[in-house]
Structure 1
Amino acid sequence: MDHVPGGFALNPRFHTIAAVEASEDDIGRAVPKHVIAQLDACIAMLGTSTSYESGGWSSADFARMYQVVYTVLRDTGRRPGEVTSLRRECLERIDGKPTLLYDNHKRRRHGRRLPVSESTAQAIQAWQKELDRLPAVPACGQWLFPSPGQRNRPRRGHLTTAQFCNRIFRDWVDELIPDLVDDRLDDSGEPLAHDRTQIVPYGFRHAYAQRHADAGTRPDVLRELMDHRSLDVTMGYYKVSLTRKQEAVRTVARLAVDRHGAPHGFEDALAYEVESVGVPYGGCTEPSNVKAGGGHCRIRFQCAGCDFYRPDPSYLPALEQQIADLRADKEAALAMEAADWVVRNLDDQIRAYSKSADEMRRKLDALPVEERAAVESASRELRKARSAAAFVPLQALTTRSSE
């Protein structure tokens, strides 16, 4: 053993199972869309469980503040403490688009920026104007959501998560909203009551992440939006169980078409998985490319001109994006006075991809409403599965030094 190089010795760094950090980012706690819709319909009740008044603020003023807190929680996916501690001047515009400034207290990263929608920005701006109208509270002036304080005590600082989450929000969900139904039915066909204990403010953060994952947002982009330290946490939102994937494949496989738009569906889920491979704009059945996992295309992914091309509805967003990109490339080629054959090639691809996309839209429009909804849901599941399989983050590659 004296002649064995030192590099072969055991090193605890590489032979220890890393501890798994307990994370509150558990996708199972996401507030479902149908529940959020019911909460939105009852938002006027939020904060009306108390008649508390302080410092010239009426109970209606406090209720309005709590309703804006809920709106920001729902729309931005920030942690409750990050929302309640927003500063009064928390909005700025970058390239004309509204951006939220907040502090990530958990990871001690302050001054973070998050793009938000115009509707969210308008809700915040409307509340800022109301703050200007309300009596000022000297010890709370810098906060967007000032502390309500306590009876016979001065108001200081900002609204706390305990005040909003444990009292105001819970009273609203548990006591004020008369009915909250699930999307499941009982034996008699009536909607089941939704478990209200599962509705927590943190669930809106999970719902925000799940919305982006369902929409096909790239994992590295969602990681930035969530301000996650580890990409492993973000990737949890892209996990699709084998059962759900098989169900999605069974739903979508039969709707595949060829490059001419003619129906060319797969007989079963196994054929879809074995005989084709996912490429950027659809499925590919060319044997050598299937064997190479989609990385051996002889015509450089000009899929719409290939007889082995098999797009299905799950690829429709990618097709639409490709058509938009090709049109932009064509305009650039014209501006550069490129050769005619370059522009012709782009025109041909635009027509071919548009034909495939139009055929899939026609097929979807012809389906009954319930079946179309099932296909769209299955397509989202497949896009998530493909995103997770195709994305290999550099941060996840563990390398050893030469020591």
Structure 2
Amino acid sequence: MADFSLAPLAPVVRREVLHGLQQRDLRGVRMDPGTVRRLVRAWEGVESLLHLDPEKCPVSGFNAASHWRELIAWVKAAFDRFRGIDPGAVTELNLTTAGVTSHLTKSGRRARASATVDLVPIRQPWLRGLLLEWVHAVQPNSSVFRSTLQACTLASTTLSMKPGGGQDPAALRLPDMDAVITAYGDARKPDGTLYSYGIRTALRRYFFGLLDFGRGEGLLDDLSPRFAANAHHTIPRVEEDEDEAAKAIPEFVIQQLDSHLGPFGRDDPRFPRSGLSEDDLAWMLQTAYIVMRDTGRRPREFCGLRLDCLKYDEGEHHLIWDNFKKKRMRRLLPITRQTVEAIQAWQRRRRELKVTQASANYLFPAATSDRKYPHMDSGDFSRALRFWVDGLPALDSDVPDDDGRPMPFDRSRIFPYAFRSSFAQRHADAGTDIDVLMDLMDHRSPDVTMTYYKVTMERKRAAVQTLRLHSVDRVGRPAPFSSNLSYESKSVAVPYGNCVEPSNVKAGGKKCPIRFQCAGCGFYRPDPSYLPAIEDHIRALKADRELAEAMDADAFVIRNITDQIEAFQGVIERMNARMEELPAEIQAEVEEASRVLRKVRAGGRTLLPLSVVQGPGAQA
């Protein structure tokens, strides 16, 4: 039966129900007669639908709650219009009665939006009213509405922190708009990471579009003309994922991960196996980890590698990869022999496995044929990585606790994209030229690549700030530099310490009057960062002395070498003694600063990372 009767209802309720049903029908939404008959019985004796709670439907059955909520919402919306309620005073918006339609997702399905939206976060009545008028006039889909709502909420929050709180539209000026655009440029997700460039520019575009609508419809006659778009209101084009070099996982943490690689991919109940044995699954995931760690590719880029992803040309191995983000395909990246061996071992095993037809040409196959991508999903890999990392027995940081023991490392900092930052930071710390690193990262803007060098320089400055206070002279007396500038400009790094002899400093360390017999020079200023170099030099001097004795060299030659050995040994003993007198936390700070400066001094054109482990093939 497709009919129903409203005769049992009170006259007012009868008209309310008819209005609601007509509006639902205009939306093209299915109306179920059986459900309406049950609702009519529930409404018998009711004076008006306005008195009912939309969330407490007493009727069960197909779409009963949906019919109940929507019909009541339509009646309330009509009643508000009848009373002439100021849109700026409305604090809740029903998307259905406002005409907001569902949008189609990429898969072709229609997204379902929440029935109501809280407008309280938009604190300025003029802005809230403008949004409501725009919704009723334009009737956007839910995706456009959500983006415009986000733009209004962020603008409202920014204006509320300005003098006057943005309440008077006539008082707004260009600096207020500057503040709003700045907020869009720094818009962040709930986890604190920066939104993509596309989303941040969309916020700006939707807000300006809303203002243009209001001015065009005569709704913003009171809004100051100075509160408008200007030529300098642009969003900086820096991608979130390239912007935070500080996300890099420290190398000593990666070394700890490498030492516990064996369990990765085993006993993980959540990872879809698609017929792979536990050994094969572990082998695949561990190979993907090695590629991720050693190449610095984005998650989808290493997950989507082709089965024939290796190329040997002119004595070098290259990885063939696709830059999906920028749509630059078949890129080449030089890789180390150890990385090649890990990939080749898995390739041999991979060709023996039965995989889905869609995954036949991929190094890391998809779990099933109905997956979004024909290769391993980066989300699946990320979850497997999290399961493994969270299950490690220990993961130490370089920060000591009150007892001098290392504190635990924050495991939430370990995720696939962080290894890309580690790859870039590793090269920047090693002194790789910026143009070379740009090519390795496949960046088009040097500003993005320079982010990692800024981090390196910040670390260097911090290290100098620490070590300048621990410099000594040749007999071990404290000889601190007065400032970082003094450390950098009034001294020059020679093989075994700093030198402050003016002519040698001016010549960049190439005019030593006594040919680097530093331990006997009054201008010698070593610090703890040079201890390993001094120890190496002592070993070299001892080897020279043995050679000189074997050659039956004159006594003064052997005596000179012996005196140098004793002098340098004295430098080491006195610096070590001073270090032992320091509190444990200061010792740790000095040791970390020493590591940083040694890296900077050793900088060269390093082409590839050296942090590699043997491929997991032998253990799978």
Matching residue of 1:35: 253
- Alpha-carbon spacing, 1:284–1:227, altered in 2? closer, same or farther (3 Å): farther
Give 1:29 deviation, angstroms.
Answer: 1.4
SS of residue matched to 2:265: coil
Alignment pair present for 1:239 and 2:454:
no
What amino acid is aligned across from residue 303 of structure 1 in structure 2? K
Matching residue of 2:353: 134
Q: How does 1:217-296 map to 2 (within 5 A)?
A: 217-234=432-449, 235-240=453-458, 242-251=461-470, 253-254=471-472, 267-270=479-482, 273-274=485-486, 276-277=489-490
- Alpha-carbon spacing, 1:182–1:375, altered in 2? closer, same or farther (3 Å): closer
Give 1:178 deviation, angstroms.
Answer: 2.9
- Alpha-carbon spacing, 1:310–1:105, altered in 2? closer, same or farther (3 Å): farther
Residue deviations 1:258-310 (CA, integer Å, cap 9, x gap): xxxx77998222277438457796867576997xxx6xx5xx97434688997
Matching residue of 2:368: 149
What amino acid is aligned across from residue 282 of structure 2 in structure 1? A
Alignment pair present for 1:205 and 2:415:
no
**Do the aligned residues in 2 keep the contact of 1:139 with 1:155 (CA within 8 Å)?**
no
What amino acid is aligned across from residue 511 of structure 2 in structure 1? C
Q: Distance in 2 between matches of 1:182 and 1:74?
A: 19
Alignment pair present for 1:46 and 2:258:
no
* TM-score of the aligned structures, taking structure 2 as reference length: 0.43
Q: Distance in 2 between matches of 1:303 and 1:18?
A: 51
Match 2:282 to one of 37, 41, 63: 63
Matching residue of 2:145: none
Matching residue of 1:24: 241
Give 1:245 deviation, angstroms.
Answer: 2.9
* TM-score of the aligned structures, taking structure 1 as reference length: 0.63
Alignment pair present for 1:118 and 2:337:
yes
Give 1:43 deviation, angstroms.
Answer: 1.6
Q: Distance in 2 between matches of 1:233 and 1:218?
A: 14
Alignment pair present for 1:196 and 2:404:
no
- Alpha-carbon spacing, 1:72–1:246, altered in 2? closer, same or farther (3 Å): same
- Alpha-carbon spacing, 1:82–1:155, altered in 2? closer, same or farther (3 Å): closer
Q: Distance in 1 between matches of 2:531 and 2:320?
A: 35
- Alpha-carbon spacing, 1:317–1:106, altered in 2? closer, same or farther (3 Å): farther
Residue deviations 1:330-352 (CA, integer Å, cap 9, x gap): xxxxxxxxxxxxxxxxxxxxxxx
RCO (CA 8 Å, sep 6+): is it higher in 1 or 2?
A: 1
Residue deviations 1:101-154 (CA, integer Å, cap 9, x gap): 21222222222222222111110010011112222543212211111127xx58
Match 1:170 to one of 372, 386, 400: 386
- Alpha-carbon spacing, 1:238–1:17, altered in 2? closer, same or farther (3 Å): farther
Q: How does 1:321-340 map to 2 (within 5 A)?
A: none
SS of residue matched to 1:133: coil
Matching residue of 1:322: none
Structure showing greater radius of gyration is 2
Q: How many residues matched?
A: 322
Runs of 5+ in structure 1 lacking a partner?
A: 1-11, 256-261, 319-355, 389-403
**Do the aligned residues in 2 keep the contact of 1:79 with 1:205 (CA within 8 Å)?**
yes
Cα RMSD, aligned residues only: 4.5
What amino acid is aligned across from residue 411 of structure 2 in structure 1? R
Matching residue of 1:92: 311
SS of residue matched to 1:110: strand
What amino acid is aligned across from residue 439 of structure 2 in structure 1? E
Matching residue of 2:302: 83
Give 1:200 deviation, angstroms.
Answer: 1.0
Matching residue of 1:159: 376
Alignment identity in percent? Answer: 37
Q: Distance in 2 between matches of 1:362 and 1:108?
A: 60
SS of residue matched to 1:113: strand
SS of residue matched to 1:115: strand
Range moving further from structure 2, 122-131 or 42-51: 42-51
Matching residue of 2:202: none
Alignment pair present for 1:183 and 2:401:
no
